[in-house]
Structure 1
């Protein structure tokens, strides 16, 4: 009889323990969500103000599904080295050839760097540089034109994850950049004419 009482007691204890644990974890999830939301509001409040003259329209996705959301680069993202501007390392603009040059066949135009930084600030989200300065060999490999602005550091190819390339192009034009859109490949070529 004692064995039966012990088993019943253990079973009751186990059931009560499971119920208490379920109630505890069910109440814990909303608290974490609220804490995360409060932390996000605190971080948002600490960000420097951004001057926006007009609110940006919410990007519309074309019905034919032409917008491809590019992913952010795979980790690790390089965070050391000289900075081109507040959000971009110089290395992001370097020639990505297979060793034909030292990465810098020409210097990047400071005006281009400023305007790409301004573009990034307009969207307040990452802008990914896929091509900056190029050596002649790399330019030929990617099918660039013979006198491409990439060769002299006056051009960059870029995209903003989650923002349609035509919206990025329109904002780049507003900032005074020359733009060639590549909607089929979902990036924009921006340049400074010199």
Structure 2
């Protein structure tokens, strides 16, 4: 009897994997979304921002630029470009390499919530770090830190999970993001 149950389970898992793979692959073949079907503008979609109450969640709008899926991947859900320095051209975007352990733990954070994690700052050049008020020896300068948030999830909850995953965390509740870092 156990063999029958085991075979049924294996067949069901194979069917689920096949269906999920088919859906995933067909989404890449579908091509661009027809704008006439979804006529809303970014302005209509973006929520209004306001000062949060204690424990409140600010639903940050997603980046205005279209989400790109080409380029080298840092992990299953993040492009390397999401971690690049966002200066006004002072550097080539990569004054330092990102720490692979940090990338792995941020991917684990994303998988825990099963929701997008938005990286607002990854590696920084010294000039950009000074512009944003970063400390002189910031972990951002060496690719060991990233600022992030998870839309719809309180930043203190994101911080708690990040700490459980072994990240150092500085919380910025007024701005609703967390600074996550790897200490080396």
- Give me the CA root mean square deviation: 2.0
Q: Distance in 1 between matches of 2:69 and 2:80?
A: 11
Q: Which runs of 5+ in 2 are unaligned?
A: 1-15, 22-51
- TM-score (norm: length of structure 1): 0.67
Query: Which deviates further from its counterpart, 68-77 or 159-168?
Result: 68-77
1:85 to 75, 85, 88: 75
Task: Tell me, yes or no, if the aligned pair for 2:55 and 2:154 is still in contact at 8 Å.
Answer: no
Offset, 1:46: 3.3
When Rg is computed on C-alpha atoms for both structures, the one with the higher figure is 1
- The equivalences for 1:116-135 within 5 A come to 116-135=106-125
For the residues of structure 2 that align with 1:46 and 1:112, how far apart are their CA atoms?
29
Runs of 4+ in 1 over 4 A off after TM superposition: 62-65
1:137 and 2:111 correspond? no
Q: What is the match of residue 187 of structure 1?
A: 177
Q: Greater share of helix residues, 1 or 2? A: 1
- Equivalent position to 2:142, from 147, 152, 156: 152
Task: Indicate how the Cα distance of structure 1 residues 158 and 64 shifts in structure 2: closer, same or farther if over 3 A, else same.
Answer: closer
